[in-house]
Amino acid sequence: MRCYFFILLIFSTSSFAVDIDLDLLRKKIRNTSNILVTYNNHLGEGEGHFDSTPRYSEKFVNCTTWWQQVLAESYSDGSRKDIVKILDSIRYFNGAVSFGTRKHFLDHAFNFDLPPFEKVDKILGTNCKDDLSHTLILDIKKFKKSRKYQCPLLFEEDTEMNFSYLSKEKSLLCMKSLPDGIYMVFPVAGRRYNQIWGRKSGPMGRVHGLMVDKDKGISQVFHASIEKGKVLSEPFERYVNGMGSRLFKGYSIFSISNTYMAKKISDQGKIKKILECEKNLHQKGRFDSLND
């Protein structure tokens, strides 16, 4: 059965639309303090795949899988099957489960398959209009070498990323101007951040993932801290002027869509080649451990 799983997955992937429960989302954000946050890769594709770690864990997360899981749980009907289906769509291009189709770089995800977010300048205009821009060259070869991955990555030829974002000062102005609600905020990595966390992946642009719950005008940021090993919370302004001032150049702020429209991307041919390549590696017994 395992030999056919990869190919069948291409045809089992479908578009769907689900609505979020914002009250549940708020509860999920605030009730994740017991989850262990580490730098290690606790989520993979599951048994029989290049990265054999489970696709979903209720005990372990890193700074990215935390917010992905919180969103998937809040869009789902509560069943594990539905959570994993939505999580797959958030984490993988086309929802096709493989290491090569996983959204390893947030900038690739923003460019080619935006998660269920919308830039807040469409809500508020001038106060949230990006005032800085950045060009990033991804080092895909370095990333693949560090993971001992021998198949193609989807969009690996797209290494130049150009995007705009908010300066620290403009981010604070924007957040103060936004109506109450829950927002996704992605810091833009500065030199220090890339020196620490980019040694294996190469340079990164938008990273981490903060969830900001603004209630009665007070903006509280929640994020999975690898340094502290748990989900932390503090006022958004304190975060930006504290840790954020040392590691980040600025921020991209998004609203969370009430309805998540999972969609297919057009490049089915490349996805099929990636899945077949990983299947061949598995058959030859050439999968290497990713957690050494």
**Residue 230: inside a domain:** yes
**Residue 115: inside a domain:** yes
Residue found by looking up tokens 């899945």 in the block: 275
Q: Express the helix, strand and coil content of the chain in percent, nearest 5 each.
A: 40, 25, 35
CA distance 96 to 276: 12
Q: Find the CATH number of the domain harbouring 172.
A: 2.30.260.10
**Residue 291: inside a domain:** no
**CA neighbours closer than 13 Å in the CB half-sphere of residue 266:** 0
DSSP secondary structure letter of residue 63: T
DSSP secondary structure letter of residue 99: G
Residue found by looking up tokens 């900001």 in the block: 212
CA distance 28 to 73: 8
**Residue 39: inside a domain:** yes
Which residues, other chains included, contact 166 with Cβ-Cβ below 8 Å and sequence gap of 6+? 128, 130, 131, 132, 174, 250, 251, 252, 253
**Residue 289: inside a domain:** no
Strands 36-37 and 60-61: parallel
CA distance 33 to 105: 26
Predicted pLDDT at 12:
40
**Residue 97: inside a domain:** yes
**Residue 50: inside a domain:** yes
CA-based angle 177:182:188, to the nearest 5?
75
The CB density around residue 24, as the number of other CB atoms within 10 Å, is: 15
Predicted pLDDT at 281:
79
CA-based angle 151:157:163, to the nearest 5?
130
Predicted pLDDT at 285:
63
Domain count, the chain: 1
DSSP states along 198-220: -TTT---SB-S-EEEEEETTEEE
**Residue 288: inside a domain:** no
DSSP H helices, the chain, are 2-12, 22-30, 65-75, 80-91, 106-112, 121-124, 140-147, 168-177, 191-197, 236-241, 243-247, 268-283
**Position 144, amino acid:** K
Residue found by looking up tokens 């193609």 in the block: 152
**172: domain range?**
2-283
Instruction: Give the three-state DSSP class for 158.
Output: coil
- pLDDT tens for the chain, 292 residues: list them: 333 333 333 334 456 778 888 889 999 998 887 889 887 767 889 888 888 888 888 888 888 999 999 999 999 999 999 999 999 999 999 999 999 999 999 999 999 988 889 999 887 778 999 999 999 999 999 999 999 999 999 999 999 999 999 999 999 999 999 999 999 999 999 999 999 888 889 999 999 999 999 999 999 999 999 889 999 999 999 999 998 888 999 999 999 999 888 777 767 889 999 999 998 877 666 555 444 3
